[in-house]
Amino acid sequence: MSSNKIQKICCIGAGYVGGPTMSVIADKCPDLEIRVVDINKERIDAWNDSDLNKLPIYEPGLDRIISRTRGRNLFFSSEMEKSISDADMVFISVNTPTKTKGLGAGQASDLSWVEASARQVAKYAKGHTIVIEKSTLPVRTAQAIKEILNTANREDQKNQISKTFSVLSNPEFLAEGTAINDLEKPDRVLIGGEDLEAVNALVNVYMNWVPRNQIICTNLWSSELSKLAANAFLAQRISSINSISAFCEATGADVKEVAKAIGTDKRIGNQFLRAGPGFGGSCFKKDILNLVYLSGYFGLPEVAKYWNQVVVINTWQQDRIYKIVLEKLFGTVNGKNIAILGFSFKANTNDTRESPAIRICSELLEEGAVLSIYDPKVSSERIEEDLEKFSFNNQCIWKMANSIPEALKNVDAVLILTAWDEFFGLDWNYLASLMRSPAWVFDTRSVVNRQEIENTGLNLWKLGEGD
Ligand code: UDX
Ligand code: ADP
């Protein structure tokens, strides 16, 4: 296929990756027609809602792009067959959660959705189709996709239907909350594949807005592994600084000062050194666990153990926080009111997957605390689902607050878990007057100013500084 033949793109999966990625491609390539399909009809309806506040995901700047591309060259639909058969290029962008049962449970990725998508492509594609794996996947998944597509191809050949496929890996490096900027100005685009024509076709799509020298082409497996390795390295930095945060609290050092001092070393760099309640999101833990699983599979137990420790520290950090809350509140939170500010795994997203808030809130609820939770973008239905996963013997008591003052009314403590903009520069004099006395502020994201809090008579504990 010659690259200039790409006219129609289909993306399977209208989630946090597929939605924003296709919106930006549609915006930058007005000559391409892009259809995003999903088995979840409700999600498709939400993407098509005329009220842009009802888009299924919150991502700064996304509504602006949707408003100029949707209906022009970007379409969200449930019409799987036609969208795939018309497409020259199909992106697979479906969920790949960690397996919960069977071989590799708790570590390996569940590829059911990827496999189902590949089967749909195999069934409906016509002529030559470039299939691109976009979901975060373990190394060698492209091979599995190839095998599914080739099997279908052999069957069709018997029926004298000619269809051919090229499989590419094109991992996504966008971070939620900054997805639009990451897509519009990526550090690099990575494309893995052996079929040069297919690779060039995809390069040409990106060259509509990404300089050629930022598009790295490599083989399939290097591309797949680079994604896992990049996320593992990023997560490792967070666990490293979080381990140092505990050290700072014990010694009187300040983790922000330490991060600043080490970050000025060019070899270390100043990004991803913010201590906090641990990393969340759909990728980091899943990717590291994949790496751990594959290391074991390939007979590299020391490598597996090394990366697993990044996850161990992450869970430990979350547990450490709830235990500190407990300890400061005289060893018990039973019946005490605690406000939670921020439930998403980071600011500027409504995503709660693997959010530290889930584990920390669950532990506090298990201890008998009564929580009032405020988050500017996460819905109460989402929180209910997240907290339902845990059994509290019917003792689960939490409520959603519609504002920060409502959340803080009559509480014994407030725990800040996400660095939403609106949590900075709050009027703590006023907020302190709403809280019970003596009350605590637990700040895990370095949001508040120590002097300001202490002037109000509130007690303060800051992660990486202590009290
Ligand atoms: C990550 C990768 O950054 C992205 O390249 C990949 O494609 C998907 O996974 P994402 O999970 O959306 O993106 O957000 P990111 O900004 O990386 O944050 C992940 C978690 O780490 C969040 O919980 C965040 O609060 C935490 N974090 C990040 C810190 O605790 N400290 C930091 O310094 C940076
Ligand atoms: P990500 O963060 O990787 O984008 P999401 O869970 O947000 O993950 O989105 C994945 C989307 O893929 C979901 O909306 C899900 O309904 C969709 N999906 C999963 N399997 C299929 C499939 N076989 N065909 C179409 N859509 C699918």
Q: Is the CB of 114 under 6 A from ligand 1?
A: no
Percent of the chain with pLDDT over 90: 87
Residue ID of nearest Cα to ligand 1 atom 5: 173
Minimal CA–CA distance to 447: which of 467, 427, 420?
Answer: 420
Q: Is the CB of 227 under 6 A from ligand 1?
A: no
Of 94, 112, 283, 349, the residue with max ligand 2 atoms within 8 A of its CB, to mutate for a pocket test, comes to: 94
- pLDDT, residue 351, reads 95
- pLDDT, residue 138, reads 78
Rounded CA-CA distance 394/404 in Å is 27
Do 255 and 244 form a contact (C-beta atoms < 8 A)? yes
pLDDT tens figures, 48-68: 999 999 999 999 999 999 999
- pLDDT, residue 390, reads 52
Do 373 and 401 form a contact (C-beta atoms < 8 A)? yes
pTM: 0.94
Q: Is the CB of 273 under 6 A from ligand 1?
A: yes
Buried b (16+ CB within 10 A) or exposed e, 19-55: bbbbbbbbbbbeebbbbbbbbeeebbebbeeeeeeeb
pLDDT tens figures, 214-241: 999 999 999 999 999 999 999 999 999 9
Range in 93-107, 162-176, 379-393 the model is least confident about? 379-393
- pLDDT, residue 109, reads 84
Task: State the average pLDDT over residues 259-268.
Answer: 98
pLDDT tens figures, 416-428: 999 999 999 999 9
Task: State the average pLDDT over residues 258-271.
Answer: 97
Minimal CA–CA distance to 91: which of 206, 186, 218?
Answer: 206
- pLDDT, residue 434, reads 98
Is residue 3 over pLDDT 50?
no
Q: Is the CB of 343 under 6 A from ligand 1?
A: no
Residue ID of nearest Cα to ligand 1 atom 14: 175
- Return the biggest CA–CA distance within the chain: 81
- Catalytic center residues: 283
Please tell me whether residue 129 adopts helix, strand or coil conformation.
Answer: strand
Q: Which ligand is nearest to the CA of 77?
A: 2
Fold of 3-218: Rossmann fold (3.40.50)
Do 21 and 65 form a contact (C-beta atoms < 8 A)? no
Range in 150-164, 190-204, 274-288 the model is least confident about? 150-164
Is residue 442 over pLDDT 50?
yes
Q: Which ligand is nearest to the CA of 228?
A: 1
Q: Which ligand is nearest to the CA of 91?
A: 2
Q: Which pLDDT band, with edges at 50, 70 and 90, does 393 fall under?
A: low
Q: Is the CB of 274 under 6 A from ligand 1?
A: yes
Using omega within 30 degrees of 0 as the cis cutoff, is the peptide bond preceding 438 cis?
yes
Rounded CA-CA distance 373/238 in Å is 25
Rounded CA-CA distance 104/109 in Å is 8
- Give the dihedral of Cα atoms 300, 302, 306, 312; nearest 10 deg: 100
Is residue 394 over pLDDT 70?
no
Rounded CA-CA distance 33/30 in Å is 8
- pLDDT, residue 396, reads 59
- CA 457 to ligand 2 center in whole angstroms: 49
More confident residue, 154 or 397: 397
Of 16, 17, 95, the residue with max ligand 2 atoms within 8 A of its CB, to mutate for a pocket test, comes to: 95
Of 43, 48, 113, 123, the residue with max ligand 2 atoms within 8 A of its CB, to mutate for a pocket test, comes to: 113
Q: Which pLDDT band, with edges at 50, 70 and 90, does 11 fall under?
A: very high
pLDDT, averaged across the chain = 94
Please tell me whether residue 77 adopts helix, strand or coil conformation.
Answer: strand
More confident residue, 390 or 315: 315
Residue 230 alpha carbon, nearest atom of ligand 1: 5
Written as one letter, the residue type at 425 is G
Rounded CA-CA distance 339/303 in Å is 40
Asked if the domains 3-218 and 251-467 are classified in one and the same CATH topology, the answer is yes
- CA 282 to ligand 2 center in whole angstroms: 12
Residue ID of nearest Cα to ligand 1 atom 2: 175
Fold of 251-467: Rossmann fold (3.40.50)
Question: What are residue 341's phi and psi, to 5 degrees?
Answer: -105, 110
- pLDDT, residue 397, reads 84
Tokens 């059911």 belong to which residue? 112
Q: Which pLDDT band, with edges at 50, 70 and 90, does 1 fall under?
A: very low
- pLDDT, residue 153, reads 66
Is residue 467 over pLDDT 80?
yes
Most confident by average pLDDT, 104-108, 355-359, 394-398:
355-359
Residue 13 alpha carbon, nearest atom of ligand 2: 12
Q: Which ligand is nearest to the CA of 419?
A: 1
- pLDDT, residue 331, reads 96
Provide the H-helix boundaries in 188-300. 196-206, 220-251, 255-263, 284-297
Do 301 and 295 form a contact (C-beta atoms < 8 A)? yes
Please state the domain extents for the chain. Answer: 3-218, 251-467
Which two tokens mark 78?
């449930």
Task: State the average pLDDT over residues 382-391.
Answer: 80
Rounded CA-CA distance 321/443 in Å is 10
Range in 23-32, 134-143, 208-217 the model is least confident about? 134-143
Q: Is the CB of 176 under 6 A from ligand 1?
A: yes
Query: How many CB atoms sit inside 10 A of residue 183's CB?
Result: 25
Rounded CA-CA distance 56/49 in Å is 9
Q: Is the CB of 93 under 6 A from ligand 2?
A: yes
